Amino acid sequence: MFKKFHGFHLVDRIHKKNLLKKRRNLSTNAIKMAIITAITLVVAFIPTEMFHDMGLKGLTVVQHRVIALFVFAALMWLTEALASWVTSMIVVVIMLLTVSNSAFSFLTSEEYGEFVKYADIMHCFANPTIMLFIGGFVLAIGMTKTKLDVVLARVLLKPFGTKSETVLLGFILVTALFSAFVSNTATAAMMLAFLGPVLRSLPADGKGRIALALAIPVGANLGGIMTPIGTPPNLIVLDNLNKFNGIDITFPEWMMRMTPFVIILLFISWFLLKFLFPFKQKTINLVIEGEMKKGYQTTTVIVTFIVTIFLWMFGKELWGLNTNVVAMIPIAAFCATGILQRRDLEEINWSVLWMVAGGFALGVALDKTGLGNVLVESIPFASWSPLIVMIISGLVCFLFSNFISHSAAASLLAPILGLVASGISADPTAGEAFASMGGPSALMVGVAISASVSMILPISTPPNAIAHSTGFIEQKEMMKVGIIMGVLGLVLGYAMLIIFKF
């Protein structure tokens, strides 16, 4: 998280609280790790022929090892015995040592099947999608260092006036807009820092401050759906959709579909919050202090931001520029002008990037070892109703994402669903019905939506945790809003994907 970001103290408080909680649960986590390791070893050392009896005909030893790695990653991410990014790093290292062409010599043999090139695994850390995310982080750093974020927040909130209900709408919409391009954690911290004095000034016996406090995590979580860089699950899904189904959704294509959908959800959340938590005080005087720094650096940030967004939207159609390539422009521009310095690089959320890279590595293993083909041929995906597959995948992702990292849930499900989509599409009969419901895009993008609308508990997302730390929200209030918005998000999201398609 960026230490220069407004509201960093809120994020820091959450991190310290989580660290203390983890230390207290050290023995519990050790037991979890021991059990998971035992289960993984059992899966790894049972005879490969047993999988043949289960229908996985032709499974090789290397593919068997990948299955064991999937089991390990899934259990570690679900139980959170270790931080998600730590699990990803462990998985990548084990993969390099056991299923790559540079694995321990006593584990390699031509009889064991196709090994993954170690360079392909390591490339996951420099995956073009990772570069796209870094470009988004760098833009956020530039906005923060020049105080452009403060000015934008003040300018964007001003039209909503002083009426309490419209100020609430303003915070929802502005938070969502920031979250579409900036880390939702950083956005939530910044907006709650602006909102803090207002929350303390509202009547203690009124419910309005609950609505305002909840507006931030709701806006941040939903806003991330708007763009491919808004939240990690979006990028994870897009990468796997391209890898397993050969479908490339561009930046403008994503925004054209998602922006109207998100706006509808944001207005629904506004009506819901003001209905559940009506304001006792009818007006709010909002004061956001801070001035934009003057000079060439600020001008550079503004111009670079506008150029980058423009090229993300229209660069491919006009000049053939890939979205991931465009993401390198702010990095180069800010480095060349001194805006981005060595210490700023330390502020990039590398743990998120490593988490995503670990998920990509699992996808590479599925693809390069041929395990994906074995699963497609062995499991009768074509006999499953496409609609049932979509419903189950959405509900499973929603359930997982409320209790574990959204990125971890997407990393776990996206490669598997990529294979499922490939299997269904390959069947002439089921493939036709599947295509009429949006095909692989609807199934995979639905996972990204399911993850983002998962916000029932304080632990569900960092914005939820930050908002809950203010002390103005009880868990039951967050659950009430989270369940309603989650159900509506799933229903409307899949309806949009099926009807309008990508």
Per-residue confidence (pLDDT) for residue 1, from 0 to 100? 46
Cα 306 to chain centroid, rounded = 24
State if pTM tops 0.75: yes
474 Cβ contact partners less than 8 Å away, ≥ 6 residues apart: none
What's the rounded Cα separation, in Å, for the pair 320 and 33? 48
- Per residue in 182-210, pLDDT (tens digit) is 888 888 888 888 887 788 777 777 788 89
CA distance 125 to 486: 32
User: Can you tell me the mean pLDDT for 378-393?
Assistant: 80
* Residue written as token pair 């584990």: 107
CA 61 to chain centre: 33
Strand, coil or helix: 109: coil
Q: How large a percentage of the chain has pLDDT more than 90?
A: 48
Q: Could you report the per-residue pLDDT of 357-373, keeping only the tens digit for each?
A: 888 899 899 889 988 88
Tokens found for residue 290: 């801070």
pLDDT at 8 (0 to 100) = 55
Ranges 48-57, 85-94, 281-290, most confident = 85-94
pLDDT (tens digit per residue) in 435-464: 999 999 999 999 999 999 999 988 788 888
Query: Tens digit of pLDDT for each residue in 105-123?
Result: 999 998 899 999 999 999 9
What per-residue confidence (pLDDT) applies to 301?
A: 92
